[in-house]
Amino acid sequence: MTSNAPFTAAEYDRRLTLTRAAMRAAGLDAVFVTDPSNQAWLTGYDGWSFYVHQGVIVMPEGAPIWWGRHMDMMGGRRTCWMDHGNILGYGDHYVQSTEIHPMQDLASVLKSRGLGHATIGVEMENYYYSAKAHEVLKAELPDARLQDATALVNWQRLTKSDAELAFIRKAARISERVMQVALDRAAPGVRKNDLVADIMHAGITGVDDDWGDYPAIVPLTPSGLDATAAHLTWNGDKMRSGEATFFELSGCYRRYHAPLCRTIYLGTPPDEMRRAEAAQLEGIAAGLDAARAGNRTCDIANAFMAVMAKHGIERSGRMGYPIGLSYPPDWGERTASIRTEDQTELRAGMVFHFMPALWMDSWGLETTETILIRDSGAAEPLSNVDRKLFVKG
């Protein structure tokens, strides 16, 4: 194994064993994995190259094959655990060509491995696998069957190993630092872009010897009416008294995340926000108590929603999702959801971003936790930042 691989050979063997069991259950001879998070989880590959076609081939036996652009093959040799013979690159003449397509090269690779007549899983509902790619691959493999294997690998990532949990805990320490910088720096007259620059500096600096990686989502820091929306970023405006700002942030350590949200109000919060804060905190406590091994994700959502109903607050939509290793544009794993209709059983080692945020007509209130499902008892919040609405005059 390359010395740069973040995990041991035994850890990668564990992941391949899980993936192959899922492949057998789905009747697949091989899978071609394009999600960069899944690629990294299986091979260790870590590079900003997911804007071109690349992926990992997993077969019933042997080490996986990383396939991508030739110049990125060199990055594969630096970051993947496999031998160089399992790291393949296609020429630059394929890149953004209107005459040829990288999937033609991939088809040749698959045929050379005896997969010309195989049933091959592909991630059809994925940010990185285009309709054109599927069309070309299907045409180049007329005797193969391409079967949708969306999230097949994602579901194997749901329960974290001890090694992964150690990385997430490091990310949580960085999240604490990032959030403290945001709360300390926020004040009337501070430009939002300057505040975000400090946030990003803190996140990349990390904590002690644990350096920070870039998070899969940029800092979300809307204020005032902008905070009634969920996913706005920042601008060059100055922060103002009489407004709430929520910070949706995450530390990141070797691609592992621990998202954390807190809200600050500059001035005196309105009574309705204070009442919502009390209800939200009560609901979070109820959700954490329901987040136990053997329960279901819907039990967390239902516990929170029962408190909201008691306080007369309307809230709909999901309230969280699994997190761990991820690349842009999302730090969620896109499998289970914390929502009233999701029946996923909670198991020890699962990690979720429990996000029961409230977006009202004139303000937003985000208070969230990254939580670990334990062997027994309620879930463990992994970051240690006061759970409240922060107020600064």
Domains and CATH numbers, the chain: 9-156 (3.40.350.10), 162-392 (3.90.230.10)
Q: pLDDT digits over 150-159, tens only?
A: 999 999 999 9
Check pLDDT > 70 for residue 296.
Answer: yes
**Mean local confidence (pLDDT), 177-199:** 98
How far is the C-alpha of 129 from the C-alpha of 101, rounded, in Å? 13
- As a whole number, the mean pLDDT across the chain is 97
Phi, psi for 68 (deg, rounded to 5): -170, -165
Q: pLDDT digits over 328-376, tens only?
A: 999 999 999 999 999 999 999 999 999 999 999 999 999 999 999 999 9
How far is the C-alpha of 349 from the C-alpha of 162, rounded, in Å? 8
By DSSP bridging, strand 145-148 and strand 119-122 are parallel
pLDDT band per the 50, 70, 90 thresholds, residue 125:
very high
Q: pLDDT digits over 1-41, tens only?
A: 666 889 999 999 999 999 999 999 999 999 999 999 999 99
Helices 102-112 & 131-140, crossing angle to 10 degrees? 40
Q: pLDDT digits over 257-279, tens only?
A: 999 999 999 999 999 999 999 99
What pLDDT was estimated at residue 4?
A: 82
Check pLDDT > 80 for residue 190.
Answer: yes
What pLDDT was estimated at residue 324?
A: 97
Structure tokens, 43: 């091979």
What pLDDT was estimated at residue 29?
A: 98
- 108 burial (CB, 10 Å; 0-12 / 13-18 / 19+) is middle
pLDDT band per the 50, 70, 90 thresholds, residue 110:
very high
